[in-house]
Amino acid sequence: MNKKPSISLSRQEKNGPAVTLSVISEKKTNQKILPGILTSRIEKKVQNSQVYYYGFFGMEGYEFEVPVVFKTKPNLEKGSQVELIGNWANSQQDRPSFTCLDYKLLKEPEPPTLTSLEKEISLLLKPSLDKKKD
């Protein structure tokens, strides 16, 4: 008899917001599921001969973005709505980071429009234009 997985929501004050995934069977996991939007492009980093990828992730209702580390390069674009599956990193930093073991793409980013491109360009140019005014 197959039992369906149970997903329970939980807030973790110390390690950040998360959804705890627990499968009802002989085995339980401690992996977390974070639903949200990738707010940056994926960057490659090499540290101590190890290659990994990272990006930033925004969640609804939170003002901060979470740094996310991927062991392999994900096929995700900035603005993708995804569910990240993984664990919070053990870190003493103020902002927790999340190690992603897997992900589920929920929605592709919207294609850029002329208005959205103008807005992005103006945000990039604003610091230079402000300096010129001074």
Between these two residues, 26 and 55, which has the higher pLDDT value?
A: 55
Q: Give the pTM.
A: 0.59
Between these two residues, 127 and 70, which has the higher pLDDT value?
A: 70
Is the pLDDT at 15 greater than 80? The verdict is no
Average pLDDT rounded to a whole number, residues 18-39: 61
Q: Kindly report the average pLDDT of the chain as a whole number.
A: 76
Selection from 103, 85, 106, 70 nearest residue 31 by Cα: 85
Task: State the Cα–Cα distance between residues 72 and 75, nearest whole angstrom.
Answer: 10
pLDDT band at 69 (very low <50, low <70, confident <90, very high): very high
Domains, the chain, with CATH or none = 35-133 (2.40.50)
